[in-house]
Each structure stands twice: as C-alpha cells, then as structure tokens.
Amino acid sequence: MKIKVLKRTENELKIEVEGAGHTLCNLLQKKLLENENVDVAGYDIPHPLTSNPIIYVRTKSPLKPEDALLDAVERAKEMNKEFGEALKRLLQA
C-alpha cells in the first residue's frame, strides 16, 4: 500500500492511499471524528475505477493532523483486536 502526501500544513493533511477502499477510509474517518481536536475529517474516492482515496484531516491547535491520524489508526487497531478476541471466545464456547 502506497501513501502519498498531497498537502501538509500546520493543521491540515491530505493524503492519497493507493488501493484502499471505503472500508478503511470510513473507519479512519469515524475514528478521527471521535477526537474533539479534529475539526474536519473525510475522504473522497474521485473515480470508482481508480481506487485511490484521498483522506483529509483538519485539526485544532495544538494537535497536528499527522498525530490525529496515527491516533485514529491505533484506536482502530485496538477495536479490531477486541473484536477478534471476543469472536474467538464466542467460537470456542
């Protein structure tokens, strides 16, 4: 998976993620918006045949958008881990 920075300022970040789809982008958007210091978070897939979504984050100072995105990824990973453990317990019963 390749990631390309399209725009980076003090409180804005726009990246293109090659090969990602709605599933990953929607999850990241939701996790970003859970953070009270994230002003705007969203994504766009400009063309359905080229699945290279563009993720956009704008934060309130002093939070950097890069830090907000990394935090969202970590929280998504933790949620996935909890789900996996709960599923294992269920299936082993």
pTM > 0.95: no
First-residue to last-residue Cα distance in the chain: 37
Residues 54-68 pLDDT 10s: 999 999 989 999 999
Q: How far is residue 27 CA from its own chain's centroid?
A: 6
Q: Which two tokens stand for residue 84?
A: 């996996």
Q: Looking at residue 47, what is its pLDDT? A: 81
DSSP secondary structure letter of residue 47: B
Q: Looking at residue 48, what is its pLDDT? A: 75
Q: Which of the following CATH numbers is that of domain 3-92: 3.40.50.300, 3.10.28.10, 1.10.3720.10, 3.30.1360.10?
A: 3.30.1360.10
Residues 64-90 pLDDT 10s: 999 999 999 999 999 999 999 999 999
Q: Looking at residue 71, what is its pLDDT? A: 97
Residues 25-55 pLDDT 10s: 999 999 999 999 999 999 999 887 777 999 9
Residue position matching structure tokens 């999850």: 27
Structural domain spans, the chain = 3-92
Higher local confidence (pLDDT), 22 or 58: 58
Q: Which long-range contacts (CB under 8 A, 24 or more apart) does 45-49 make?
A: 45/21
CA distance 73 to 18: 17
